Amino acid sequence: MRILLSTFGSYGDLYPYLALGGELRRRGHEVTLATSALYRAKVESARLQFHAVRPDISLEDRELLAYVMDARRGSERIVRYLASVVRDSYEDVLPAAAAADVILTHPITFGSVLAAEKLRMPWVSSVLAPISFLSAHDPCVVAPAPWMHNLRFLGPRFTGAWIALAKHQTLEWLRPVTGLRAELGLRPGGNPLFEGQHAPSLVLALFSRLIAEPQPDWPPHTVVTGFCFLDDSEELPARLRQFLAAGPAPIVFTLGSSAVGTAGDFYLHSLNAVRRLGARAVFLTGSHPQRLPEKLPDAVITVPYAPHAPLFSQAAAIVHQGGIGTTGQAMRSGRPMLIVPFAHDQFDNAERVRRLGAAEVIPQSRYTAGRAECCLHHLLSKQHYRAAASNIGQATKSEGGVTTAADAIEDSLRAKHQRADPG
C-alpha cells in the first residue's frame, strides 16, 4: 500500500510518525511523510519519502516560540494561524494524497483532513495525547484555566456543558477551514478541532492506557496503541558519557524542542535547586542561549541535545515540560519526574502522570529554586515515587505501540478491501 502520514508541530509531533512510518516500511508499504520543510532531512534519514506541506516552521525563532507557548492563549494562536493558511496546506498535500491509498492525519493537519474527504479516500486519524478527545467522563486540565479541573466532581453533565461552550467558541477561530470546506463542496462536518478531526472508521490513540482509558464519548473505532517510540541507534555524546560514568546518577532537566526556546529562568532556578540538594545534574539546553553563569559547578553539565532514551535510563529523576513525547520517554525510563508545564497539553499530561504516583507538578509560572528543591527532595527520598515510576516503566515498555498501530492500519485497510470486493 501507498501510505501518506501527515503531521505538524515540534519533534514530539514528528517522532511518533517517523516510528510508525518505519514499521510500515519494514512491512513492505511505500510510506510518505508530509510535513514542514524543516524536517526533510530527518524524514529522509529515516528512509521515508518526504513531501513538503506549508506552513514551514523554525524551532530557532524564540519570538515565535514565546508567542505560541503562552499558557493562556498559545493554543488559540496556533489554531488561528493554521486555519489562516489552510488553503496552502490543502493545495500542498493534495497531490501526495491523490497518489496514496490511505492517509493518516495528525490532530491539527486541517488541510490533510479536507484532502482525504475531497478525494473520498481511506482515512485514518490519530491523536498523540488524551486532551485531543476532551472527554466529559475524563476531564482534562486545560492550560488557560487549569483550576477548572478542581470542578470535575460536578460530573459529566457540567463538563459536557463546558465542552459544548468551547466547541462553539473555537468555531470562530476555524472559519477559514469551514469556509474552504464549503468551497470544496463538502458536506458540513463537525468542529475541525473536536469531532471533525476524527476519522469515522479508525482513530489511533498513540499513547499509553496508563494515562487514559477509552471513555464513552471517545470516537467509536478508537484503538489505544501505546506510545510510538522512535528507537534509533544514536549514542550519547562522549563528554556526556564520561560525566555519567564519573559519579552518581544525575537529575536530568529538559524542556523539549519548543519550551526550551522560551525557558526564562528555568535553568537558573534549576541550578540553584541542585546546588542546595548537593546533586549532580544534566541540563539539555537546546541551541538557544540560556540564563546560566559562565562557570558551572563540576557536578553540572550542559549539552544542547542528547537522545532521551539512553539518557533518561541513567537519571535519578527527570525534570521536563510535560510534552507528550518527553512524557512518554520519561515514563518508559522508570524514573520519577518533576513536570513543569508551559502550555497546550502539558498541564493535562502532567496531571495524569501525577495521578499515577510517579510525579510532582509545578507550573512554569510558579517554578522557583525553592519549590524545585522541595519537590526533588521528595522524589528522590520517598520510596513510593520510585516504586510507581518503576512499575510504569515496565508497563510502558511492554505495550508495543508501533506494532499495534501498524496492525490496526493494516486491519482497517484489509476490512475496507473485503467490503469493496467481497468475492
What pLDDT score was predicted for residue 415?
A: 80
> How far apart (Å, rounded) are the C-alpha atoms in residues 258 and 344?
11
Q: Which fold has domain 2-227+400-420?
A: Rossmann fold (3.40.50)
> Fold identical between 2-227+400-420 and 238-397?
yes
SS3 annotation, the chain: CEEEEECCCCHHHHHHHHHHHHHHHHCCCEEEEEECHHHHHHHHHCCCEEEECCCCCCCCCHHHHHHHCCCCCHHHHHHHHHHHCHHHHHHHHHHHHHCCCEEEECCCCHHHHHHHHHHCCCEEEEECCHHHHCCCCCCCCCCCCHHHHHHHHHCHHHHHHHHHHHHHHHHHHCHHHHHHHHHCCCCCCCCCCCHHHCCCCCEEECCCCCCCCCCCCCCCCEEECCCCCCCCCCCCCHHHHHHHHCCCCCEEEECCCCHHHHCCCHHHHHHHHHHHHCCCEEEECCCCCCCCCCCCCCCEEEECCCCHHHHHCCCCEEEECCCHHHHHHHHHHCCCEEECCCCCCHHHHHHHHHHCCCEEECCHHHCCHHHHHHHHHHHHHCHHHHHHHHHHHHHHHCCCHHHHHHHHHHHHHHHHHHHHCCC
Local confidence pLDDT in tens for the 423 residues of the chain = 999 999 999 999 999 999 999 999 999 999 999 999 999 999 999 999 999 999 998 888 889 899 999 999 999 999 999 999 999 999 999 999 999 999 999 999 999 999 999 999 999 999 999 999 999 999 999 999 898 888 888 999 999 999 999 999 999 999 999 999 999 999 998 999 999 999 999 999 999 999 999 999 999 999 999 999 998 778 999 999 999 999 999 999 999 989 999 999 999 999 999 999 999 999 999 988 899 998 999 999 999 999 999 999 999 999 999 999 999 999 999 999 999 999 999 999 999 999 999 999 999 999 999 999 999 999 999 999 999 999 999 999 999 999 999 999 999 988 877 666 665
Would you state the pLDDT for residue 151? 87
pLDDT for res 423: 58
Cell 502522570, residue? Answer: 353
Q: What is the pTM (predicted TM-score) of this model?
A: 0.95
Cβ neighbour number for residue 398 with a 10 Å cutoff: 8
Question: Which class does domain 238-397 fall in?
Answer: alpha beta
Q: Beta partners for 50?
A: 33
- Strands across the sheet containing 251-254: 300-303, 281-284, 251-254, 317-320, 337-339, 359-361
CA 232 to chain centre: 18
Grid coordinates representing 222 are 478508537
Spell out the domain ranges in the chain.
2-227+400-420, 238-397
Amino acid (1-letter code) at residue 362: I
pLDDT at 247: 96
**pLDDT for the residue 297:** 94
Task: Measure the CA dihedral 300/304/310/316, to 10°.
Answer: 30
